[in-house]
Structure 1
Amino acid sequence: MKILNPFRLGLLGGLGVLVAVGIGQTIISLATILTYVGAALFLALGLDPLVTWLETKKFPRWTAILTVLVGVLGVFAGLVFAIVPVIAEQVRTASRAIPRLVTAFFDGTIKENVETAFPWLNVEDLLDGLNTWLTELDFTTIGGGVFAVGIGIATGITGAIIVLILTIYFVSSINNIKSGIYQLVPATKRAKFIDLAEQVSTAVGRYVMGQGSLALVNGLLSFIVLTWIFPAFGMPVKYSALLAFIAFLGSLIPLIGTLSGSIVITLLVLLFNGPPSVIAVGIYYLIYMQVEAYLLNPRIMSKAVKVPGALVVIAALAGGTLLGILGALIAIPVAAAILLVVKQVIVPRQANL
């Protein structure tokens, strides 16, 4: 027995390691699916307070759920209708410009224009170098890169649709899901667990609603300013609906979302319109970011989640590093939930020791 015990111990330990490695590989393989499920559940918890609020207004639950889901689908459809016209117009512009460009290249118009504008430039050497570069160019690699970009875009669209479908399912069955989870907890601890879980769920829902409110304010103000105010002063802005939607999506991301969205919008205005519209847009977003940071954000978020400012920054950075945009979105409510557990479970337990 003294010889067999170490063998048995090593065998069981090795099997345990293999099982742990297998579980880890399974989780890695399912990382994308788990991300979709986590995002959909997070959104469903965020929409649940809105359903509850509609129920307090005498809406039957199925009507409240249907109203919220129609609103979600409306936002998704708004994204599609905001992007499609831009893509269609750019494709039409390119289809009209490419034939003229090819004709001008072969009849020598481009060469003459370049020689006139840049008399110091040796156009013949430039064209020879371009011809050599095109001859040596590996179109297989370019085609593979374009194909990879297309696959990435298709994957993103498919992921968004999957998250949308899962969100609809979770919103409609969130109470049944909670009830099933609560039944797995021992009866002696169930009441405390339910109370704590409901507080965490409420904190997550309030955070999502608060962040959504900030995004809605930014999107509406952007649409009003870019569509009506700036054009009234002789500074037209193309694709204002798309730019406002970008502002809305950017503000959904904590800390850096509004800044990133403002930079993207300003660069697009520079591309589509140029000065003086881009200067006005840049100044507007500089002012708006100050208003959001010092006026809107503290007032809205103080009622949503109570997390210290330093912990908000640390949580957002850690979540963004681990899970990207999704991690940055869920980091703050997760931090709020951990603080809640520490205050109501760990601290009282330590006080009783």
Structure 2
Amino acid sequence: MKIHNPFRVALLATLGVGVGLLLIGSVQNLSTILLYVGTALFLSLGLDPVVSFLERRGLPRWAAVLVTILAVLGVFAGIIFMVVPIIVSQIAQLISQVEQLLQPGRWNEIVTQVQQWVSDSLPWLKIDDVWAGIQHWFTTLDVGSISTVIGNSLLTGAGAVAAGLGGAFIVLILTIYFTASTPSLKSAVYQLVPASKRARFIELAEKITDSVGYYVMGQVSLGVINGVLSAIFLTIINAPFPAVLAVIAFFFSLIPLVGTLTGSTIIVLTCLIPGLGTPGWAIIAAAIYYLVYMQIEAYVISPRIMNRAVSVPGSVVVISALAGGALLNLLGALIAIPVAASILIIYREVIIPRQNER
């Protein structure tokens, strides 16, 4: 191919690369805002089945949205007012127990016992030399620099908490707006599709949004079930800090694939902390309970709750969760499975039929 004006071609190519870099930089600068918008859309799709259910019972759209939002806010407000004081008091008790555990006399006693056990069981580790090196390293630390690092870490943590609360408020406002205007947003998107293909596009889009909504509601339901049952069981066996551990069970159950396993492991390990006074039988009971619960959740509870969402093969679940976590951290892991389910719908409803027609 003969280039008649190389300068013009080079100029256009340079401008194209510049525009591409500008777009990439803009997306990076707006990543936080895009994250808020994506989270709000995800949550609004999760609330849409509830709104649709109320609409089918005769409520107008605005009343169904208002009832749904007020119910969600009421539930969270009730959880905060009922659970937070208990959690604060139990965290204070946990800190007190840790402080007692780290007192010089108690700590030296535990360290001596561990050191003696390791020396008797694993003499080749030369634990005495290792411990002497650790003690020497601690004696050479600058207390002032440690205090500075701790102070900076506390300030950074406080800033992160403040930013998280601000982000949560923004997401809440966007979720309310998206939930109220879901039909108009869908209609605006549908108008971009040619009229000849619009009906098919609407059918697929409705299947995808319904699948995402049922997935979100199902995952929240699993978290509520795990949290409530954990609170009841941990209270019965007199486990330490049952309210805190129940909240851990709830939030970890929201994470697909490994959330329940991770939360259960944290709860059992917390019961193992020395000095908390957890009976040995209670630790064994907690371990057995969560082993049984994970099996019941995987084979009984989850299939019944998720039966209206699109089933995703296990290998796709693992790959999508890993990819989503790598791209968008925890949020990516949460939305990866419904995104994978949406891709599977397109694959089954569009690609395979077209291939079969050829």
Instruction: Specify every segment of 5 or more residues in structure 2 that has no aligned partner in the other structure, as ranges.
Output: 113-133
Pair 1:144-2:152 in alignment: yes
Pair 1:263-2:265 in alignment: yes
The answer to whether the 8 A contact 1:79-1:245 is kept is no
Change over 3 Å in CA distance of 1:252–1:91 after alignment to 2: closer
CA distance in 2, matches of 1:89, 1:246: 13
Match of 1:44 in 2: 44
Match of 2:315 in 1: 310
The answer to whether the 8 A contact 1:307-1:336 is kept is yes
Provide the TM-score with structure 2 as the length reference: 0.80
Q: Secondary structure at the match of 1:328?
A: helix
Match of 2:296 in 1: 291
Instruction: Return structure 1 stretches of 4+ with deviation > 6 angstroms.
Output: 92-95, 126-132
RMSD: 3.4
The answer to whether the 8 A contact 1:83-1:242 is kept is no
Pair 1:226-2:234 in alignment: yes
Give the CA deviation at 1:19. Answer: 0.7
Pair 1:68-2:73 in alignment: no
Q: Secondary structure at the match of 1:137?
A: helix
Match of 1:250 in 2: 252
Match of 1:240 in 2: 242
Give the CA deviation at 1:31. Answer: 1.2
The answer to whether the 8 A contact 1:236-1:273 is kept is no
Match of 2:196 in 1: 188
Residue type of the partner of 2:59?
Answer: F
Give the CA deviation at 1:238. Answer: 4.3
The answer to whether the 8 A contact 2:90-2:244 is kept is no
Change over 3 Å in CA distance of 1:296–1:134 after alignment to 2: same
CA distance in 1, matches of 2:286, 2:163: 33
Match of 1:123 in 2: none
CA distance in 1, matches of 2:61, 2:277: 47
Change over 3 Å in CA distance of 1:84–1:28 after alignment to 2: farther
Aligned residues: 332
CA distance in 2, matches of 1:129, 1:306: 54
Pair 1:327-2:343 in alignment: no
Residue type of the partner of 1:226?
Answer: L
CA distance in 1, matches of 2:175, 2:168: 10
CA distance in 2, matches of 1:236, 1:92: 15
CA distance in 2, matches of 1:28, 1:141: 30
Match of 2:28 in 1: 28
CA distance in 1, matches of 2:30, 2:217: 29
The answer to whether the 8 A contact 1:46-1:206 is kept is yes
Percentage identity across paired residues of the two chains: 50
CA distance in 1, matches of 2:26, 2:90: 45
Change over 3 Å in CA distance of 1:211–1:28 after alignment to 2: same
The answer to whether the 8 A contact 2:44-2:179 is kept is yes
Give the CA deviation at 1:3. Answer: 7.0
Match of 2:116 in 1: none
